[in-house]
Amino acid sequence: GAVVSQHPSWVICKSGTSVKIECRSLDFQATTMFWYRQFPKQSLMLMATSNEGSKATYEQGVEKDKFLINHASLTLSTLTVTSAHPEDSSFYICSAGASEAFFGQGTRLTVV
């Protein structure tokens, strides 16, 4: 099946710094990728839809200035958590591929 690679798998950062998470589709081109956030023992919450060559579409309640998304090529989307705070600590997951969405391995972000 298709492979989506996400990097890093975990990151610890200081409060106030920014963190960039990469999502790559390894064997197919993805004009659209999705970014999710998942809290412990909860389901995935869609944050935004990343569109290649255009602005991302954010879900209601998600701060677009806080969570910057860039989809510069057909195989790479990045999520930057700007000025991270402890409440941003979470598991972030990307996906790509229509219908049969394929997910990255996830990134565990801890802000201290």
Partner 1 sequence: QKEVEQDPGPLSVPEGAIVSLNCTYSNSAFQYFMWYRQYSRKGPELLMYTYSSGNKEDGRFTAQVDKSSKYISLFIRDSQPSDSATYLCAMITAGNEKLTFGTGTRLTIIP
Give, in order, the Cα–Cα distances in Å from 72 to each of 28, 43, 55, 106.
15, 28, 10, 20
Among 7, 11, 22, 32, binds partner 1 (CB under 8 A): 32
Among 46, 55, 64, 73, binds partner 1 (CB under 8 A): 46
The CB density around residue 72, as the number of other CB atoms within 10 Å, is 10
Among 42, 72, 73, 85, binds partner 1 (CB under 8 A): 42
Under 8 Å between Cβ of 85 and 67? no
Identity of the residue, 47 or 111, whose beta carbon is nearer to partner 1 in the bound complex: 47
Tokens of 67: 């969570």
Q: Which residues in this chain contact partner 1 in the complex, by CB under 8 A? A: 1, 4, 6, 32, 34, 41-44, 46, 49, 91, 93, 95, 98-106, 108
